[in-house]
Chains A and B, each alone.
Chain A
Amino acid sequence: MKTTVVSAVLATIVTSGISAQELTLGRFFGACEDAGTDTKTSVGEACIIQSIINAASEEIEGVTIDTLPTDWGNYYDQLKASYAGGTPPDVHVMHRHRIPEFAGFGALAEISGDLESVGIDPTNWTDSARAAVSYKDGIYGVPMDLHANLWHINMDLMEKAGLVVDGKPVLPGSPQEMLVHARKLKEATGQDYLAADFAQFPIGVRMVLALMWQQDANIFSDDGTATINSDAGKKAIETVTQLFDAELANPQLNYADSQQAFLNGEVAILVNGTWVVDLYTSEAANEESELSNYYVADFPQLFTEGATWADSHLWAIPSPVKSDEKKYQAALKVLAFINEHNIDWARTGHLAVRQSVLDSDEYAALPHRSEYTATASIARDTPPSTQYGAIQDVLNRELQAIWLTDKPIEAALSDAELEVQSLLDR
Chain B
Amino acid sequence: MVQPNSTKRGSLSENQAAFLLLLPFLTVYALFLVYPFFRGIWISLHDWNLLEVAFNPAAKQFVGLSNYERVMWGRNIEWSLFSSPLAQLLGVIALLAAAWFAMRLQLSRVTAIALAIFGILLIVAPGFHPGPEGRWFSPRFWPTVGNTLLFVAWAVPGVTLSALVLAAALDRETRAMGILRTLFFISQVLSVTVVTLIWQIMFSPRQGLIANITEFFGGSPVVWLTDERFAMAAIVIATVWWSLGIAMILFLAGLQDISKDLKEAAELDSAIGVRAFWYITLPNLKRTITLVIVLQIILHFQVFGQSHLMTNGGPNDTTQVLVRYIYQTAFRDSELGRASAMAVFLFVIMGAFSILQFVIGREED
Asked whether B332 lies within 8 Å of A199 as measured between CB atoms, the reply is: no
Contacts of B205 in A (CB 8 A): 252, 257
Asked whether B50 lies within 8 Å of A200 as measured between CB atoms, the reply is: no
B49 at the A interface (CB under 8 A): yes
User: In the complex, how many angstroms separate the beta carbon of B131 from the nearest chain A beta carbon?
Assistant: 15
User: In the complex, how many angstroms separate the beta carbon of A16 from the nearest chain B beta carbon?
Assistant: 32
Contacts of A390 in B (CB 8 A): 332-333
Which residue of A102, A107, A400 contacts B316 across the interface (Cβ within 8 Å)?
A400
Asked whether A84 lies within 8 Å of B316 as measured between CB atoms, the reply is: no
User: In the complex, how many angstroms separate the beta carbon of B144 from the nearest chain A beta carbon?
Assistant: 12
Report the separation of the CA atoms of residues A107 and B327 in the bound assembly, to the nearest whole angstrom: 21
Contacts of A294 in B (CB 8 A): none
A105-B314 contact in complex given A252-B223, A257-B206, C-beta closer than 8 Å: no
With both beta carbons as reference points, the residue of chain A lying nearest to B52 in the complex is identified as A105
Asked whether B55 lies within 8 Å of A105 as measured between CB atoms, the reply is: yes
* Partner-contacting stretch, out of A120-128, A131-139, A225-233, A415-423: A415-423
Asked whether B228 lies within 8 Å of A107 as measured between CB atoms, the reply is: no
Q: Which residues of B, 90-114, contact A by the 8 Å Cβ criterion? A: none
Contacts of B215 in A (CB 8 A): none
Asked whether B315 lies within 8 Å of A80 as measured between CB atoms, the reply is: no
Contacts of A241 in B (CB 8 A): none
Contacts of B318 in A (CB 8 A): 405
Contacts of A83 in B (CB 8 A): 51, 54-55
User: In the complex, how many angstroms separate the beta carbon of B147 from the nearest chain A beta carbon?
Assistant: 13
Contacts of B51 in A (CB 8 A): 80, 83-84, 101-102, 105, 107
B354 at the A interface (CB under 8 A): no
Chain B contact surface mostly:
loop
Asked whether A397 lies within 8 Å of B314 as measured between CB atoms, the reply is: yes
Asked whether A199 lies within 8 Å of B139 as measured between CB atoms, the reply is: no
Asked whether A397 lies within 8 Å of B317 as measured between CB atoms, the reply is: yes
Residue of B53, B56, B315, B332 ringed by the most chain A CB atoms within 10 A = B315
Report the separation of the CA atoms of residues A156 and B41 in the bound assembly, to the nearest whole angstrom: 62
Report the separation of the CA atoms of residues A72 and B137 in the bound assembly, to the nearest whole angstrom: 30
Asked whether B226 lies within 8 Å of A199 as measured between CB atoms, the reply is: yes
B312 at the A interface (CB under 8 A): yes
**A387-414 interface code vs B (CB 8 A; 1 in, 0 out):** 1011000000110110011010000000
Asked whether A200 lies within 8 Å of B332 as measured between CB atoms, the reply is: no
Report the separation of the CA atoms of residues A35 and B332 in the bound assembly, to the nearest whole angstrom: 30
Report the separation of the CA atoms of residues A252 and B206 in the bound assembly, to the nearest whole angstrom: 12
Q: How many residues of A contact B (CB 8 A)?
A: 40
User: In the complex, how many angstroms separate the beta carbon of B27 from the nearest chain A beta carbon?
Assistant: 23
Report the separation of the CA atoms of residues A261 and B207 in the bound assembly, to the nearest whole angstrom: 12
Report the separation of the CA atoms of residues A55 and B228 in the bound assembly, to the nearest whole angstrom: 46
Which residue of A77, A84, A252, A422 contacts B332 across the interface (Cβ within 8 Å)?
A77
User: In the complex, how many angstroms separate the beta carbon of A204 from the nearest chain B beta carbon?
Assistant: 11
Q: Which residues of A, 242-275, contact B by the 8 Å Cβ criterion? A: 252-254, 256-257, 260-261
User: In the complex, how many angstroms separate the beta carbon of A138 from the nearest chain B beta carbon?
Assistant: 15
Asked whether A400 lies within 8 Å of B315 as measured between CB atoms, the reply is: yes
Report the separation of the CA atoms of residues A199 and B227 in the bound assembly, to the nearest whole angstrom: 9
With both beta carbons as reference points, the residue of chain A lying nearest to B335 in the complex is identified as A426
With both beta carbons as reference points, the residue of chain B lying nearest to A101 in the complex is identified as B51
A252-B226 contact in complex given A84-B51, A105-B52, A400-B314, C-beta closer than 8 Å: yes
Asked whether A419 lies within 8 Å of B226 as measured between CB atoms, the reply is: no
Report the separation of the CA atoms of residues A86 and B54 in the bound assembly, to the nearest whole angstrom: 8
B82 at the A interface (CB under 8 A): no
Report the separation of the CA atoms of residues A397 and B139 in the bound assembly, to the nearest whole angstrom: 12
Report the separation of the CA atoms of residues A261 and B225 in the bound assembly, to the nearest whole angstrom: 17
Report the separation of the CA atoms of residues A200 and B228 in the bound assembly, to the nearest whole angstrom: 12
Contacts of A415 in B (CB 8 A): 139
A180 at the B interface (CB under 8 A): no
User: In the complex, how many angstroms separate the beta carbon of B221 from the nearest chain A beta carbon?
Assistant: 10
User: In the complex, how many angstroms separate the beta carbon of B73 from the nearest chain A beta carbon?
Assistant: 13
Report the separation of the CA atoms of residues A208 and B29 in the bound assembly, to the nearest whole angstrom: 52
Which residue of B53, B137, B223, B332 contacts A76 across the interface (Cβ within 8 Å)?
B332
Asked whether B206 lies within 8 Å of A105 as measured between CB atoms, the reply is: no
User: In the complex, how many angstroms separate the beta carbon of B263 from the nearest chain A beta carbon?
Assistant: 51
Contacts of B50 in A (CB 8 A): 80-81, 84
Report the separation of the CA atoms of residues A405 and B332 in the bound assembly, to the nearest whole angstrom: 26
Report the separation of the CA atoms of residues A261 and B334 in the bound assembly, to the nearest whole angstrom: 37
A-B CB proximity, top 7 nearest: A199-B226, A77-B331, A84-B54, A401-B316, A252-B223, A405-B228, A400-B316
Task: A254-B226, A257-B204, A387-B333 are known; give 8 further A-B pairs, CB within 8 A.
Answer: A80-B50, A102-B51, A199-B314, A200-B226, A200-B314, A254-B225, A257-B223, A405-B316
Give 9 CB contacts A-B under 8 Å. A77-B327, A77-B331, A80-B331, A83-B51, A84-B54, A105-B56, A199-B314, A397-B314, A415-B139
